[in-house]
């Protein structure tokens, strides 16, 4: 993969092909090795190399973009010319913002050499451990163990250049009874592949699967819930773009006030809720830049229940005289020192949710979502998990979830079923709306 | 004939242009592609692979868009264009060694890299074989040497961008003409896939697919009530060329959604309860996709998707027995329907595509299959449902076009509506969510009209319906005739790990469903 120096040289070469006043180049290259398995055997697996070069040319507020995956000089020159042709034809962007100049990017520890080189000798034994653990209990495992190594760089004619690299290892497994009558899931995501142990992962999924036998059918309705971090992450991540200052001012988001204005400064949530972004958090460092190269920065969205800040893209920041804010990658919902067991113990009657699935937005304004529980739903009575429960569909918004939070556990790096991941604790919340029963296992 | 410099690694863009170019009317693949493929097939044989295929593919995507939004403070309408062009070219090699699959892919299309990645695929397969209990068995397939192109008259990539921008400017301007419409958005997207497949079993197949898509959207906001609503126009996305774009009637439909978004903003919330539904093809296509399309995939039934997309309530014991719908419900899989998004002549296993029944007179009769699954249910051949979304993706079982047969010749849309005392007519796609075994679903739409006393009345809002797949299809009591039959589709259907997308069409006529649970959403 391209080193910093190689990426910089390549970027400079591409920019030298440009005839327009402004040109921006972003390069991405990745290498993936993965094993997918099901029914206690490997199904598909592979080793893939991919890359892309995105070139945007601008003149007179008119921009055209061309993307290719070829690093050959002639191809790059042609792509630059293509982006210029597209720009010349395009009408001016009336929300145009000038490109950024040179930026300073932080350094984060998102790279691990072992992970970047890991192939079958490292992957296969961990997959075998999962299959063996499941098979030893007469259960059936399916899952994916994927490791990725990626570099990306950005450069423009105003003198900016940035380079970053990252490794990511993700292993998730679903363990099911051979007759399909029960199911359990667990996952582990890390920068360093060495932290992931197949046997541990399988142990958690097997435990869920074995406990979820002969579930009781409960009536839909409002329940107190204890959500494990994966369930919290997939809901709370949906809040991200809801913090857009523009959507709020234009009356299109949950942060818009009836009659005009926004909820900025209002105490919408309980005191214990603090939601923020911290790109350099070692638990889950984020990309170094967003929004065309602006350095990612820390931001507190909700502080002790108060809406502390709104998100400004570069255009809206320019129109309002504010500083542009960073992106929403890897939100952090601050937790406490309490454990998941503590939350369960503090629950008189409620439902313990392992994860959600097929989450879709019902109303983009209120952020009402729908989805289903999956791979481990249990009844809690008097502080103890008493029995498994047939799965439910929910209709609920992360806004109401945060408003109804009563307790928080210890925050951790988590990638749920559908989102990009965040740092989230398990939570206890009241009045969570389950709208119908799902017979799916 | 391909020149020697390409094998030495010259410009792959130029190489792609030469590889996929064709003499008019040519029915055989480009010999240059066949020569490159032979490198992989020879190397795999040398490394003791019992099977090998290589796909050399080039993708081209173009997106042209215009958004009209009010300027902060002045309310003046500002135009925000978006013009982009994306190309991707590379190859993927698949092998079977010691009974296990291996795969490797690279964007560097040279003979040296093909040799290297074939060896990588063999290495992956050998390692997997150590933990593979069931050896891969492929259903037999004939060897084909063919070239096929999806039908189109005007290549969308040859149409000037200025023409596309002008069309969108006119349409978004129409939608935004009323000041009460907050913003409007229009996009045209075009996609092409140059695909080449060669296998160690003697096939050599070159195909070209061209697809055209459009979306218009209008949003209206009532700040005093804290409400924001939208209305979309999505013409059927199809494997067609630019000749279809004028038929989309973007300007006329922009006028319609301008009026309908304001009606939507003022529409009362639905009163929840059991209601009859009349579902239009622009909506019903996705209900077919989610509830029938995915539940009848054999890989789901076998547990291959257990960790991600899920399994299926249609387990193997239900094949040929399970009643899904009423007798009038007949659903078929088909990768041969002209203009269908999943239509090709050969799938990514090199299997010639066909049409096959899935639901016959309400009973589940066939799964969607690929070569390495057919023997698991005692079938002798694949139904041609193999697809990979990129040269860098592993081919696996994906959905063909799955469509509902029309109803009796005499049944009209008016008949469906006139038979409803208290119901809702739904158009367009909204929020779609279904469980991991495809039992329980909740579907919304883009626009909803109340039906009272057999007449279509005004718009209502905040509608979603919840049901179980079998309950729902067994409540289907009438389907309109063939003259109403339309194919809509989706080009971003997700499945698999690492995730892949698929483009698929679903044809249907409007259909009526009795006493479905309608809920009121936020």
Of B86, B94, B124, which to mutate for an interface test with A (greatest number of A Cβ within 10 Å)?
B124
pLDDT tier for residue A290 given thresholds of 50, 70 and 90: confident
Query: How many whole angstroms separate alpha carbon B171 and alpha carbon B157?
Result: 21
Task: Over range A381-393, report the average pLDDT.
Answer: 98
Give me the interface pTM, i.e. the ipTM. Answer: 0.95
Which chain A residue's Cα is nearest to B432? Answer: A360
Of A1, A318, A370, which to mutate for an interface test with B (greatest number of B Cβ within 10 Å)?
A370
How many CA within 13 A on the CB side of residue A235?
31
Q: Structure pTM?
A: 0.96
Give the distance between the most distant pair of CA atoms in chain B. Answer: 75
Helix boundaries (H) for B307-427:
413-418
Please give the structure tokens belonging to residue A289.
């830049």
Chain B environment of A35 (Cβ under 8 Å): 128
Of A2, A20, A36, which to mutate for an interface test with B (greatest number of B Cβ within 10 Å)?
A36
Which chain A residue's Cα is nearest to B438? Answer: A440
Nearest beta carbon to residue A435 from set B11, B462, B519: B519
pLDDT tier for residue A71 given thresholds of 50, 70 and 90: very high
Measured in degrees and rounded to the nearest 5, phi and psi for residue A122 equal -90, -40
pLDDT in tens, A19-36: 999 999 999 999 999 999
Query: How many whole angstroms separate alpha carbon A165 and alpha carbon A31?
Result: 12
- CA torsion A58-A63-A67-A72 (nearest 10°) is -30
Nearest beta carbon to residue A46 from set B10, B105, B437: B105
Chain B environment of A208 (Cβ under 8 Å): none
Of A26, A48, A56, which to mutate for an interface test with B (greatest number of B Cβ within 10 Å)?
A48
* Interface touch A69/B224, C-beta < 8 Å: no
Chain B environment of A40 (Cβ under 8 Å): 133
3-state secondary structure A384-398: EEEEEECCEEEEECH
Q: List Cα–Cα distances, B163 to A337, B171, B239, B283, B425, in angstroms.
A: 61, 13, 20, 30, 36
3-state secondary structure A203-232: HHHHHHHHHCCCCECCCCEEEEEEECHHHH
Contacts of A101 (CB under 8 A, 6+ apart): A158, A159, A160
* Interface touch A174/B433, C-beta < 8 Å: no
Query: How high is the pLDDT of residue B3?
Result: 39
* Interface touch B439/A440, C-beta < 8 Å: yes
For residue A322, the distance in angstroms to the closest alpha carbon of chain B comes to 14
What is residue B118's DSSP assignment? H
A32–B contact, CB cutoff 8 A: yes
* Interface touch A258/B305, C-beta < 8 Å: no
Query: How many whole angstroms separate alpha carbon A192 and alpha carbon B162?
Result: 49
Question: If DSSP codes are grouped into helix, strand and coil, which group holds residue B427?
Answer: strand
Nearest beta carbon to residue B80 from set A89, A94, A140: A94
> pLDDT in tens for each of the 522 residues of chain B?
333 333 334 456 677 888 898 777 788 999 999 999 999 999 999 999 999 999 999 999 999 999 999 999 999 999 999 999 999 999 999 999 999 999 999 999 999 999 999 999 999 999 999 898 889 999 999 999 999 999 999 999 999 999 999 999 999 999 999 999 999 999 999 999 999 999 999 999 999 999 999 999 999 999 999 899 999 999 999 999 999 999 999 999 999 999 999 999 999 999 999 999 999 999 999 999 999 999 999 999 999 999 999 999 999 999 999 999 999 999 999 999 999 999 999 999 999 999 999 999 999 999 999 999 999 999 999 999 999 999 999 999 999 999 999 999 999 999 999 999 999 999 999 999 999 999 999 999 999 999 999 999 999 999 999 999 999 999 999 999 999 999 999 999 999 999 999 999 999 999 999 999 999 999
Residue B7 contacts residue B111 (beta carbons within 8 Å):
yes
Q: List Cα–Cα distances, A143 to A185, A186, B121, B390, in angstroms.
A: 9, 10, 20, 22
Query: How many whole angstroms separate alpha carbon A370 and alpha carbon A434?
Result: 9
Task: Count A/B contacts: CB-CB distance under 8 Å.
Answer: 294
* Interface touch A370/B13, C-beta < 8 Å: no
Helix, strand, coil % over all residues of chain A, rounded to 5: 25, 40, 35
Query: How many whole angstroms separate alpha carbon A105 and alpha carbon A290?
Result: 11
Query: How many whole angstroms separate alpha carbon A206 and alpha carbon B63?
Result: 46
Residue A14 class from Cβ within 10 Å (0-12 exposed, 13-18 middle, 19+ buried)?
Answer: buried
DSSP A78-138: HHHHHHHHHHHHSPP-TT--PPP------------HHHHH--HHHHHHHHHHHHHHHHHTT
Cis, bond preceding B498 (omega within 30 deg of 0): yes
Please give the structure tokens belonging to residue A142.
């399916």
Query: How many whole angstroms separate alpha carbon A19 and alpha carbon B116?
Result: 38
Dihedral sign (CA B250, B252, B258, B259): negative
Q: Which residue has the higher pLDDT, A193 or A328?
A: A193
Chain B environment of A34 (Cβ under 8 Å): 497-498
Query: How high is the pLDDT of residue B1?
Result: 36
Chain B environment of A360 (Cβ under 8 Å): 431-433
Query: How high is the pLDDT of residue B442?
Result: 97
Q: Give the count of beta carbons closer than 10 Å to the beta carbon of residue A266.
A: 13
Of A17, A31, A35, A42, which to mutate for an interface test with B (greatest number of B Cβ within 10 Å)?
A42
Query: How high is the pLDDT of residue B13?
Result: 65
Residue B120 contacts residue B104 (beta carbons within 8 Å):
yes
Which chain B residue's Cα is nearest to A373? Answer: B435
Termini Cα distance of chain A: 42
- Residues present in chain B in total: 522
Q: Which helix (H) or strand (E) holds B440?
A: strand B440-444
Which chain A residue's Cα is nearest to B313? Answer: A440
Chain A environment of B127 (Cβ under 8 Å): 119-121, 123-124
Query: How many whole angstroms separate alpha carbon A150 and alpha carbon A50?
Result: 9
For residue A314, the distance in angstroms to the closest alpha carbon of chain B comes to 14
How many CA within 13 A on the CB side of residue B374?
17
């Amino acid at each position: 993969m391209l080193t910093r120096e190689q990426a910089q040289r390549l970027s400079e070469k591409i920019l030298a092909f440009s005839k327009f006043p402004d040109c921006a180049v972003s390069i991405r290259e990745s290498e993936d090795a993965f094993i997918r398995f099901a029914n206690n055997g490997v199904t598909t697996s592979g080793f893939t190399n991919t890359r892309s070069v995105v070139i945007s040319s601008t003149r007179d507020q008119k921009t055209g973009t061309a993307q290719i995956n070829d690093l050959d000089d002639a191809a790059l020159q042609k792509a630059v010319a293509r982006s210029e042709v597209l720009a010349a034809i395009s009408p001016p962007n009336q929300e145009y913002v000038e490109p950024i100049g040179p930026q300073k990017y932080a350094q984060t520890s998102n790279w691990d050499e072992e992970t970047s080189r890991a192939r079958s000798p490292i992957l296969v034994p961990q997959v075998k451990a999962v299959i063996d653990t499941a098979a030893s209990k007469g259960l059936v495992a399916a899952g994916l163990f994927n490791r990725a190594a990626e570099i990306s760089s950005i450069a423009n004619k105003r003198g900016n250049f940035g380079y970053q690299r990252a490794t990511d290892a993700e292993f998730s497994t679903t363990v099911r009874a051979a007759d399909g009558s029960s199911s359990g899931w667990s996952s582990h995501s890390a920068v360093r592949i060495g932290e992931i142990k197949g046997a541990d992962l399988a142990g958690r999924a097997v435990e869920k699967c074995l406990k979820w036998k002969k579930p009781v059918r409960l009536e839909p309705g409002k329940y107190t819930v204890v959500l494990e971090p994966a369930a919290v992450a997939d809901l709370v991540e949906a809040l991200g773009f809801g913090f857009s200052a523009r959507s709020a001012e234009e009356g299109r988001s949950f942060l818009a006030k009836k009659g005009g204005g926004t909820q900025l400064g209002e105490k919408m949530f309980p005191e214990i809720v603090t939601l923020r972004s911290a790109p350099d958090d070692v638990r889950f460092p984020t990309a170094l830049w967003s929004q065309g190269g602006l350095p990612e920065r820390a931001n507190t969205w909700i502080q002790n229940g108060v809406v502390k800040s709104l998100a400004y893209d570069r255009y809206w920041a320019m129109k309002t005289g504010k500083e542009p804010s960073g992106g929403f990658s890897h939100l952090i919902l601050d937790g406490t020192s309490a454990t998941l067991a503590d939350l369960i113990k503090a629950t008189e009657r409620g439902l313990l949710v392992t994860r959600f699935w097929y989450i879709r937005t019902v109303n983009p304004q209120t952020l009402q979502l729908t989805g289903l529980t999956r791979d481990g739903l249990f009844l809690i009575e008097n502080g103890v998990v008493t029995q498994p429960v047939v799965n439910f569909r929910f209709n609920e918004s992360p806004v109401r979830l945060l408003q109804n939070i009563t307790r928080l556990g210890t925050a951790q790096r988590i990638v749920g079923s559908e989102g990009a991941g965040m740092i989230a604790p398990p939570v206890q919340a009241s009045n969570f709306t389950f709208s119908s029963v799902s017979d799916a296992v | 004939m391909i020149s020697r410099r390409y094998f030495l690694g010259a410009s792959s863009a130029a190489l792609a242009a030469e590889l996929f170019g064709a003499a008019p009317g040519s029915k055989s693949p480009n010999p240059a592609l066949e020569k490159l493929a032979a490198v992989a097939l020879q190397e795999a044989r040398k490394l003791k692979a019992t099977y090998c295929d290589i796909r050399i593919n080039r993708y081209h995507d173009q997106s042209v868009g215009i958004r009209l939004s009010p300027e902060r403070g002045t309310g003046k309408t500002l135009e925000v264009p978006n013009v982009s062009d994306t190309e991707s070219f590379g190859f993927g090699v698949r092998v079977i060694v010691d009974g296990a699959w291996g795969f490797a892919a690279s964007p560097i299309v040279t003979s040296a890299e093909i040799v290297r990645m074939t060896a990588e695929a063999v290495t992956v397969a050998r390692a997997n074989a150590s933990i593979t209990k069931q050896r891969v068995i492929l259903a037999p397939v004939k060897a084909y040497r063919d070239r096929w192109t999806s039908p189109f008259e005007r290549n969308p990539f040859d149409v000037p961008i200025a023409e596309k921008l002008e069309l969108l400017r006119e349409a978004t301007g129409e939608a935004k003409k009323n000041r009460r419409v907050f913003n409007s958005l229009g996009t045209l997207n075009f996609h092409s896939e140059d695909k080449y497949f060669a296998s160690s079993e003697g096939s050599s197949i070159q195909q070209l697919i061209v697809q055209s898509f459009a979306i218009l959207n209008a949003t209206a906001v009532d700040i005093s009530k804290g409400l924001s609503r939208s209305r979309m126009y999505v013409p059927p996305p199809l494997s067609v060329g630019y000749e279809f774009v004028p038929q989309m009637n973007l300007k006329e439909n922009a006028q319609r959604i301008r009026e309908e978004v304001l009606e939507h903003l003022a529409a009362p919330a639905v009163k929840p309860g059991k209601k009859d539904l009349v579902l239009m093809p622009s909506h019903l296509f996705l209900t077919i996709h989610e509830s029938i399309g995915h539940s009848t995939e054999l890989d789901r039934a076998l547990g291959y998707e257990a960790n991600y997309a899920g399994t299926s309530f249609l387990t193997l014991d239900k094949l040929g027995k399970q009643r899904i719908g009423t007798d009038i419900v007949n659903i078929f899989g088909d990768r041969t329907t002209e203009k269908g998004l999943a239509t090709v002549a050969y799938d990514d296993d090199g299997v010639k595509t066909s049409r096959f029944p899935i639901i016959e007179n309400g009973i589940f009769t066939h799964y969607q299959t690929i070569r390495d699954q057919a023997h698991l249910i005692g079938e002798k051949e694949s139904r041609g449902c193999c697809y990979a979304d990129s040269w860098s993706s592993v081919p696996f079982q994906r959905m063909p076009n799955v469509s509902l047969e029309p109803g009796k010749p005499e049944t009209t849309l008016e008949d469906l509506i006139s038979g409803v005392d208290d119901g809702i007519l739904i158009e367009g796609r909204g929020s779609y969510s279904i469980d991991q075994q495809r039992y329980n679903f909740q579907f919304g739409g883009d626009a909803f009209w109340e039906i009272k006393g057999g007449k279509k009345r005004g718009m209502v809002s905040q509608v979603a319906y919840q049901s179980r797949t079998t309950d729902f299809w067994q409540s289907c009591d009438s389907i309109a005739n063939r003259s109403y039959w339309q194919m809509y589709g989706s080009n971003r259907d997700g499945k698999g790990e690492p995730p892949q997308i698929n483009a698929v069409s679903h044809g249907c006529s409007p259909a009526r469903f009795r006493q479905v649970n309608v809920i009121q959403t936020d």
